[in-house]
Structure 1
Amino acid sequence: MNYWLMKSEPNTYGWADLVKDKKTFWDGVRNYQARNNMKEMKVGDLALYYHSVNEKCVVGIAKIVKEYYQDPTTDDDRWVVVDIAPVQELKNPVTLAMVKAEERLSEMVLVKNSRLSVQPVKKEEFDLIIGMGQ
């Protein structure tokens, strides 16, 4: 199993939207590195659901429920989507400031390349953030 972090603007498609919908395809990725990360995702992988922009915090855990396929919102075959479903909301959001303050997360992609919208997460990082949110 692999672990990921997926960013969304909460006013565009937030955690509450995913919970309400029960499943969605993750579209709109227009960065090659983020797209390549999505192509690596497998059914059952887990992702930290991150509210970007103003909130800047991990708010939940999502699961990959369908591997990549052509993004239905564009005719450009360079772009793909994956389907995700909610698993669990974190009891306490884990802010970017909290992540940066935790020395054991200093090498996390979120700290090193905070702009990347879909990024890999090491199991140890994933577990630590989940622990911080409980």
Structure 2
Amino acid sequence: MSYWLMKSEPAVYSITDLATDQETIWDGVRNYQARNFLREMQPGDRAFFYHSNTHPPGIAGLMEVSQANIDDPTQFDAKSKYYDPKSPPENPRWQTVKVKFVQEFATPIALDVLKATFSPEELWVVKRGNRLSVMPVADGVAEKLLAMGQAQE
């Protein structure tokens, strides 16, 4: 099992939304490096749900990859803001995963706490200027994050 961190703005889709839905497709990623990380994911992998563009930003909970290697349907939808006319159905360029809810942390792990606990090499989300919406998390870092999330319960 691998660990990941995936960002979403809570005004767009939050951990609470995922808790209600129980499962969703993680669509709309349009960065090649983030897409490549999505391609690496396997069912059973865990991902930290990070709320961005909010105050304070931080890790709000945990989800699990339930299905991998899905062609992102928004790339073919001309009405979607994620539509990509250069991505043909016979050779799509954007893939994604389906995730299911595991847990919402009672108190999110704020970015300030993450910065005080981890170096940018350990946890990419604390690196200044990092805008990736999907990134890997090393096992040791994931274990610390899980303990931090449980300690706040």
Measured against the shorter chain, the TM-score band is over 0.9
State the aligned residue count: 132
Residues 63-98 of structure 1 show CA distances to partners (whole Å, capped at 9, x for unaligned) of 000002111111221111200001011122101110
Q: Structure 1: how far apart are the matches of 2:112 and 2:41?
A: 27
The question of whether the paired residues in 2 share the 8 Å contact of 1:90 and 1:130 is answered with no
Moved more, 118-127 or 73-82: 73-82
Work out whether 1:20 is the aligned partner of 2:20: yes
Superposed CA RMSD in Å reads 1.1
State which of 97, 101, 105 in structure 2 corresponds to 1:90.
105
Unaligned 5+ segments in structure 2 are 77-86
Which structure 1 segments of 5+ residues have no match? none
Per the alignment, residue 57 of structure 1 pairs with: 58
How far, CA to CA, are the matches of 1:114 and 1:10 in structure 2?
A: 19
Instruction: State the structure with more CA Rg.
Output: 2
Q: Structure 1 or 2: larger helix share?
A: 1
Distance 1:82 1:71 in 2: 8
2:62 & 2:54 partners in 1: Cα distance? 20
1:122 deviates by: 0.5
TM-score (ref. length: structure 1)? 0.94
Q: Which amino acid aligns with 1:133?
A: G
Matched, 1:117 2:133: yes
Deviations 1:1-48 (A, max 9, x none): 100000000000001111111100000100000000000000000000
Once the two structures are aligned, what percentage of the paired residues are identical? 45
